[in-house]
Amino acid sequence: MHLGSYSSKMKCDDMNDDDHYIPNTNNAHLDLQDFEEELRSMEAENRQLGVSDDDIAENFYHHALGYLNNPPDEPGNDDLICRFLTPKKFLWFVGSKYLRFCATQEFDDPRECSLPEDYDNSVRKILYECSLPASEWDNQVWRKSQQWLVSCWTIFNSYHDDNLIWHKYANGPEGVGITIRYGQLRDCLQKNIEQVDAEGSLKAGRVSYDFPIRLLPFNKRKMFRNEKEVRFACRNFQHTRDFRVDVSGVFKEFGLRFSPDAPEHHVEAAQRIWKECGGAERYQAPEG
C-alpha cells in the first residue's frame, strides 16, 4: 500500500474542523497491473536463461523506461529563459563563453532522474515476490540516474522574479541572470551536442511537475513547481561530472538580468565586465 494513500485515508477518517490537514487532490495512483505482469513474465524468462540478479534488475529498469519516454513540452522559440549565476559563475561564463552541463548528483533533489514512485513501488513488489535483492535495483537506479548531464534554466512569463530563486541559485541579489531566447540557445546547443554525444541528440523542454510523466530528466516533484524550469539534457556516455558547451556563436544574443535588490555598484560593475567581454547592452532589473 502506498504511504500517500494510507495517510490520506487515515486523515479523512479522523478529520475535523480544526485538523489543519490539506488533502492531496492528485493522490490517485496509476494502475500498473499490466506492467507488473510483464515484469513477472520477464523474470521467469530471465531465470530460465540463467540471467544474473543484476542483469534482471537492469532489464526491469529498461522495461520501465519504455513507459517513460514521453518527450518534454517545448516552450516557444521566442520565449525568454534565464540562468541564475553566482558572481563567480558569472565571471567564468563571460570569460569562457561556455555553458556547463552538470551531472545530476550535484543537484539538491536526491530523487533527480529516479523512476516515479508508482513504477518504483511496482518493481520492488515484483522483486520481493521473486526473492530478488532490492539492492541490485537500487544500484541500477542510481547508476542510470548518473547517465544524464543537464543545464537548468527558468522560463519567464512574468515581469516579477522569484526572490527565493535568486537566493538559491545566485546566492542573493549580487548574483546575475543571463537571458536568451529558447530557440536560439536550443539550436546552438544541438550543433555542439552532435559532436560529442553518442546518440547525437539534445533533449530539451519544460520540466513536468505532475502528470504526464516525461523522459526522466524532465520530471520533478511538485514542491519545485515555482522554479518553472526548462532543461537541456544529453546522455553522459563519457561518465564525466560535467560537460562544457561553447556558446560564443550566440553570445551576442544573451542579455543580463539583475535582482531588484542588487546594489547599484554591483549592476554597474557587471555591465562593465559584460561589455568588455563583447556582450550586448541588453539589461533588465525589475522593480521589487
What are the DSSP calls for 31-88, one per residue?
Answer: --HHHHHHHHHHHHHHHHTT--HHHHHHHHHHHHHTTS-PPPPPPPTT-EEEEEE-HH
| Domain residue limits, the chain | 32-72+80-284
- CB within 8 Å of 255: residues ≥ 6 apart: 178, 179, 180, 280, 282, 283, 284
Q: Terminal CA-to-CA distance of the chain, rounded, Å?
A: 46
**What value does the mean pLDDT take over residues 53-79?**
93
* 147: pLDDT strictly greater than 60: yes
- CB within 8 Å of 179: residues ≥ 6 apart: 80, 81, 82, 156, 254, 255, 256, 257, 282, 284
pLDDT bracket for residue 210 (50, 70, 90): confident
DSSP β-bridge partners for residue 176: 85
The pLDDT tens digits for 112-133 are 888 888 899 999 999 999 999 9
**What value does the mean pLDDT take over residues 201-213?**
88
* 95: pLDDT strictly greater than 60: yes
Handedness of CA 246, 248, 254, 255 (dihedral sign): positive
**What value does the mean pLDDT take over residues 276-280?**
97
Pick the closest to residue 145 from 216, 226, 240 (CA basis). Answer: 216
Percentage of the chain beyond pLDDT 70 is: 89
pLDDT bracket for residue 205 (50, 70, 90): very high
Question: What is the C-alpha separation between 30 and 15, in angstroms, rounded?
Answer: 26
Question: What is the C-alpha separation between 165 and 140, in angstroms, rounded?
Answer: 32
Stated as kind and residue range, the H or E segment containing 166 is: helix 163-170
Q: What is the pLDDT of residue 198?
A: 55
Question: What is the C-alpha separation between 60 and 37, in angstroms, rounded?
Answer: 12
Longest dimension (CA), the chain: 71
* 191: pLDDT strictly greater than 80: yes
* 11: pLDDT strictly greater than 60: no
Amino acid at 73: D
Could you tell me which residue, 77 or 17, shows the higher pLDDT? 77
CA 163 from chain centre, in angstroms, equals 20
**What value does the mean pLDDT take over residues 136-162?**
89
